[in-house]
Amino acid sequence: MPTTSTPRRRANGGQGKARLDRDSIVAAGIELAATAASSSLSVRELGAHLGADPTAIYRHFRNKEQLMEALLDALTLRGLQTVTAPPEAWRDRLRQLAIATLDLFAKHPAIGVEATVLTTHGQGELDAVELMLDAFTRAGLSGDDLVRHYALFAAHVLSSAAGIARARGEQRDRGVMEDEFAPSPWFEGPILADPRRYPLITSINSRLVDLEDRELFMLGVEAVIQSAERVAEAATAATAVGESEA
Protein backbone atom coordinates (compact mmCIF):
# COMPACT_ATOMS: atom_id res chain seq x y z
CA MET A 1 0.00 0.00 0.00
CA PRO A 2 1.44 3.45 -0.80
CA THR A 3 2.47 5.53 2.17
CA THR A 4 2.06 8.86 0.41
CA SER A 5 -0.53 10.28 -1.95
CA THR A 6 0.27 12.08 -5.18
CA PRO A 7 -1.64 15.30 -5.89
CA ARG A 8 -4.03 14.95 -8.80
CA ARG A 9 -3.06 16.51 -12.12
CA ARG A 10 -5.04 19.66 -12.67
CA ALA A 11 -7.64 19.42 -15.38
CA ASN A 12 -6.43 22.65 -17.01
CA GLY A 13 -2.93 21.37 -17.65
CA GLY A 14 -1.50 22.74 -14.45
CA GLN A 15 -2.40 26.37 -15.12
CA GLY A 16 -4.25 28.03 -12.26
CA LYS A 17 -6.28 26.30 -9.60
CA ALA A 18 -8.29 23.12 -9.98
CA ARG A 19 -12.06 23.54 -10.36
CA LEU A 20 -13.89 21.73 -7.60
CA ASP A 21 -17.38 20.49 -6.87
CA ARG A 22 -18.80 18.36 -4.05
CA ASP A 23 -18.53 15.11 -5.98
CA SER A 24 -14.88 15.62 -6.94
CA ILE A 25 -13.99 16.58 -3.37
CA VAL A 26 -15.73 13.52 -1.93
CA ALA A 27 -14.10 11.20 -4.49
CA ALA A 28 -10.69 12.66 -3.69
CA GLY A 29 -11.31 12.36 0.06
CA ILE A 30 -12.14 8.67 -0.23
CA GLU A 31 -9.10 8.12 -2.43
CA LEU A 32 -6.83 9.93 0.01
CA ALA A 33 -8.24 8.06 3.02
CA ALA A 34 -7.37 4.76 1.32
CA THR A 35 -3.78 5.67 0.50
CA ALA A 36 -2.55 8.12 3.13
CA ALA A 37 -0.01 6.96 5.67
CA SER A 38 -1.93 8.68 8.47
CA SER A 39 -5.17 7.59 10.07
CA SER A 40 -6.48 11.15 10.00
CA LEU A 41 -7.68 13.27 7.11
CA SER A 42 -6.96 17.00 7.04
CA VAL A 43 -8.43 19.62 4.75
CA ARG A 44 -4.90 20.79 3.98
CA GLU A 45 -3.90 17.32 2.77
CA LEU A 46 -7.10 17.01 0.77
CA GLY A 47 -6.47 20.36 -0.91
CA ALA A 48 -2.95 19.27 -1.84
CA HIS A 49 -4.31 15.99 -3.16
CA LEU A 50 -6.74 17.92 -5.37
CA GLY A 51 -4.12 20.45 -6.44
CA ALA A 52 -6.26 23.23 -5.00
CA ASP A 53 -6.19 25.77 -2.21
CA PRO A 54 -7.63 24.03 0.89
CA THR A 55 -9.90 27.01 1.54
CA ALA A 56 -11.71 26.26 -1.72
CA ILE A 57 -13.15 23.13 -0.10
CA TYR A 58 -15.08 25.31 2.34
CA ARG A 59 -17.02 26.82 -0.53
CA HIS A 60 -18.74 23.45 -0.84
CA PHE A 61 -18.79 22.32 2.81
CA ARG A 62 -19.51 24.54 5.82
CA ASN A 63 -16.90 22.84 7.96
CA LYS A 64 -14.87 19.67 8.27
CA GLU A 65 -17.70 17.85 10.03
CA GLN A 66 -19.99 18.33 7.04
CA LEU A 67 -17.19 17.10 4.78
CA MET A 68 -16.72 13.97 6.89
CA GLU A 69 -20.47 13.36 6.85
CA ALA A 70 -20.41 13.44 3.05
CA LEU A 71 -17.42 11.08 2.94
CA LEU A 72 -19.05 8.64 5.35
CA ASP A 73 -22.31 8.68 3.42
CA ALA A 74 -20.49 8.06 0.13
CA LEU A 75 -18.63 5.16 1.71
CA THR A 76 -21.95 3.73 2.91
CA LEU A 77 -23.32 3.93 -0.63
CA ARG A 78 -20.32 1.96 -1.86
CA GLY A 79 -21.02 -0.72 0.71
CA LEU A 80 -24.66 -0.97 -0.36
CA GLN A 81 -23.57 -1.55 -3.94
CA THR A 82 -21.96 -4.83 -2.85
CA VAL A 83 -25.23 -6.21 -1.49
CA THR A 84 -26.31 -8.50 -4.32
CA ALA A 85 -28.48 -11.08 -2.53
CA PRO A 86 -32.18 -10.84 -3.39
CA PRO A 87 -34.48 -9.22 -0.80
CA GLU A 88 -35.97 -12.55 0.27
CA ALA A 89 -32.46 -13.75 1.24
CA TRP A 90 -32.53 -11.32 4.15
CA ARG A 91 -29.83 -13.05 6.17
CA ASP A 92 -27.34 -12.87 3.29
CA ARG A 93 -28.19 -9.23 2.67
CA LEU A 94 -27.40 -8.35 6.27
CA ARG A 95 -24.16 -10.35 6.15
CA GLN A 96 -23.09 -8.71 2.89
CA LEU A 97 -23.79 -5.25 4.26
CA ALA A 98 -21.86 -5.99 7.45
CA ILE A 99 -18.82 -7.38 5.63
CA ALA A 100 -18.77 -4.49 3.17
CA THR A 101 -18.97 -1.98 6.01
CA LEU A 102 -16.09 -3.62 7.85
CA ASP A 103 -13.89 -3.84 4.75
CA LEU A 104 -14.54 -0.25 3.66
CA PHE A 105 -13.98 1.15 7.16
CA ALA A 106 -10.74 -0.82 7.50
CA LYS A 107 -9.52 0.42 4.13
CA HIS A 108 -10.51 4.03 4.89
CA PRO A 109 -9.89 4.31 8.65
CA ALA A 110 -9.93 8.12 8.74
CA ILE A 111 -13.55 7.96 7.54
CA GLY A 112 -14.62 4.74 9.25
CA VAL A 113 -13.79 5.96 12.75
CA GLU A 114 -16.37 8.73 12.33
CA ALA A 115 -19.26 6.26 12.10
CA THR A 116 -19.94 6.26 15.83
CA VAL A 117 -20.15 10.04 16.15
CA LEU A 118 -21.66 11.26 12.87
CA THR A 119 -25.19 10.93 11.51
CA THR A 120 -25.17 11.80 7.83
CA HIS A 121 -28.92 11.96 7.03
CA GLY A 122 -27.79 11.27 3.47
CA GLN A 123 -28.90 8.79 0.83
CA GLY A 124 -26.35 6.20 1.91
CA GLU A 125 -27.46 6.22 5.52
CA LEU A 126 -31.17 6.21 4.64
CA ASP A 127 -30.75 3.39 2.10
CA ALA A 128 -28.82 1.34 4.66
CA VAL A 129 -31.49 1.84 7.31
CA GLU A 130 -34.20 0.87 4.82
CA LEU A 131 -32.28 -2.28 3.86
CA MET A 132 -31.91 -3.36 7.49
CA LEU A 133 -35.55 -2.66 8.32
CA ASP A 134 -36.67 -4.55 5.22
CA ALA A 135 -34.47 -7.51 6.13
CA PHE A 136 -35.79 -7.79 9.67
CA THR A 137 -39.37 -7.29 8.45
CA ARG A 138 -38.88 -10.23 6.09
CA ALA A 139 -37.54 -12.18 9.08
CA GLY A 140 -40.99 -11.77 10.60
CA LEU A 141 -40.38 -8.93 13.04
CA SER A 142 -42.61 -5.92 13.60
CA GLY A 143 -43.16 -3.12 16.09
CA ASP A 144 -40.69 -2.87 18.95
CA ASP A 145 -38.97 -6.12 17.97
CA LEU A 146 -38.26 -4.71 14.52
CA VAL A 147 -36.87 -1.45 15.88
CA ARG A 148 -34.73 -3.12 18.54
CA HIS A 149 -33.13 -5.64 16.18
CA TYR A 150 -32.42 -2.96 13.60
CA ALA A 151 -30.81 -0.78 16.27
CA LEU A 152 -28.83 -3.68 17.73
CA PHE A 153 -27.54 -4.75 14.32
CA ALA A 154 -26.64 -1.22 13.24
CA ALA A 155 -24.94 -0.44 16.54
CA HIS A 156 -22.86 -3.61 16.43
CA VAL A 157 -21.79 -3.21 12.81
CA LEU A 158 -20.94 0.49 13.05
CA SER A 159 -19.24 0.47 16.43
CA SER A 160 -17.28 -2.73 15.86
CA ALA A 161 -16.23 -1.80 12.32
CA ALA A 162 -15.22 1.66 13.52
CA GLY A 163 -13.17 0.12 16.33
CA ILE A 164 -11.36 -2.17 13.90
CA ALA A 165 -10.81 0.79 11.58
CA ARG A 166 -9.26 2.73 14.45
CA ALA A 167 -6.86 -0.13 15.12
CA ARG A 168 -5.88 -0.22 11.44
CA GLY A 169 -5.40 3.54 11.51
CA GLU A 170 -3.11 3.27 14.52
CA GLN A 171 -1.06 0.72 12.60
CA ARG A 172 -0.67 3.27 9.82
CA ASP A 173 0.42 5.91 12.31
CA ARG A 174 3.12 3.54 13.56
CA GLY A 175 4.21 2.79 10.01
CA VAL A 176 2.92 -0.78 10.19
CA MET A 177 1.18 -1.02 6.83
CA GLU A 178 -0.42 -4.44 7.18
CA ASP A 179 -3.19 -5.81 5.01
CA GLU A 180 -6.30 -4.00 6.22
CA PHE A 181 -8.45 -6.99 5.30
CA ALA A 182 -6.42 -9.47 7.35
CA PRO A 183 -7.72 -10.35 10.81
CA SER A 184 -5.89 -8.99 13.83
CA PRO A 185 -5.73 -10.35 17.38
CA TRP A 186 -8.48 -9.14 19.69
CA PHE A 187 -5.97 -9.03 22.54
CA GLU A 188 -2.40 -7.86 22.22
CA GLY A 189 -1.17 -11.00 23.92
CA PRO A 190 -0.05 -12.76 25.86
CA ILE A 191 -2.31 -11.66 28.69
CA LEU A 192 -0.15 -11.23 31.76
CA ALA A 193 -2.24 -12.09 34.79
CA ASP A 194 -1.49 -13.55 38.21
CA PRO A 195 -3.16 -17.00 38.20
CA ARG A 196 -3.89 -16.72 41.92
CA ARG A 197 -6.01 -13.62 41.39
CA TYR A 198 -7.26 -14.32 37.87
CA PRO A 199 -7.68 -18.10 37.64
CA LEU A 200 -10.32 -17.98 34.91
CA ILE A 201 -8.27 -15.72 32.67
CA THR A 202 -5.26 -17.96 33.16
CA SER A 203 -7.24 -21.11 32.36
CA ILE A 204 -8.23 -19.85 28.91
CA ASN A 205 -5.39 -17.41 28.24
CA SER A 206 -4.33 -19.04 24.98
CA ARG A 207 -7.88 -19.10 23.67
CA LEU A 208 -8.36 -15.42 24.44
CA VAL A 209 -5.15 -14.59 22.63
CA ASP A 210 -6.33 -16.60 19.61
CA LEU A 211 -9.46 -14.45 19.21
CA GLU A 212 -9.50 -12.38 16.00
CA ASP A 213 -11.36 -9.12 15.43
CA ARG A 214 -13.09 -10.12 12.17
CA GLU A 215 -14.25 -13.42 13.65
CA LEU A 216 -15.82 -11.65 16.63
CA PHE A 217 -17.37 -9.07 14.33
CA MET A 218 -19.16 -11.79 12.36
CA LEU A 219 -20.15 -13.64 15.54
CA GLY A 220 -22.01 -10.51 16.59
CA VAL A 221 -23.72 -10.29 13.21
CA GLU A 222 -24.84 -13.91 13.43
CA ALA A 223 -26.05 -13.43 17.00
CA VAL A 224 -28.43 -10.66 15.94
CA ILE A 225 -29.68 -12.69 12.98
CA GLN A 226 -30.32 -15.71 15.22
CA SER A 227 -32.11 -13.51 17.76
CA ALA A 228 -34.38 -12.20 15.02
CA GLU A 229 -35.20 -15.76 13.97
CA ARG A 230 -36.04 -16.81 17.54
CA VAL A 231 -38.21 -13.78 18.26
CA ALA A 232 -40.08 -14.15 14.96
CA GLU A 233 -40.67 -17.86 15.62
CA ALA A 234 -41.96 -17.12 19.12
CA ALA A 235 -44.33 -14.46 17.77
CA THR A 236 -45.63 -16.83 15.11
CA ALA A 237 -46.18 -19.55 17.71
CA ALA A 238 -47.99 -17.16 20.04
CA THR A 239 -50.25 -16.02 17.19
CA ALA A 240 -51.03 -19.63 16.31
CA VAL A 241 -51.94 -20.42 19.91
CA GLY A 242 -54.15 -17.35 20.11
CA GLU A 243 -55.98 -18.30 16.93
CA SER A 244 -56.50 -21.88 18.11
CA GLU A 245 -58.00 -20.67 21.38
CA ALA A 246 -60.31 -18.17 19.68
> Which pLDDT tens digit goes with each residue over 47-61?
999 999 999 999 999
The reported pTM is 0.83
**pLDDT tens digit string along 142-163?**
999 999 999 999 999 999 999 9
Residues in Cβ contact with 19 at an 8 Å cutoff, skipping those fewer than 6 apart: 11, 12
Q: Where are the CATH 1.10.357.10 domain residues in the chain? A: 85-245
Say which CATH topology domain 1-61 has. Answer: Arc Repressor Mutant, subunit A (1.10.10)
Average pLDDT on 111-118 reads: 90
Pick the CATH number of 85-245 from 3.30.1490.20, 1.10.357.10, 3.40.640.10, 3.10.20.30: 1.10.357.10
Q: Residue 168: which pLDDT band, with cuts at 50, 70 and 90?
A: confident
Of 165, 31, 32, give the one whose Cα is nearest residue 102.
Answer: 165
**Torsion region of 175: left, alpha or beta (phi above 0 gives left; psi -120 to 50 gives alpha):** left
Q: Where are the CATH 1.10.10.60 domain residues in the chain? A: 1-61
pLDDT of 205: 86
Cα 72 from Cα 112, distance rounded (Å): 7
Amino acid at 225: I
Cα 3 from Cα 39, distance rounded (Å): 11
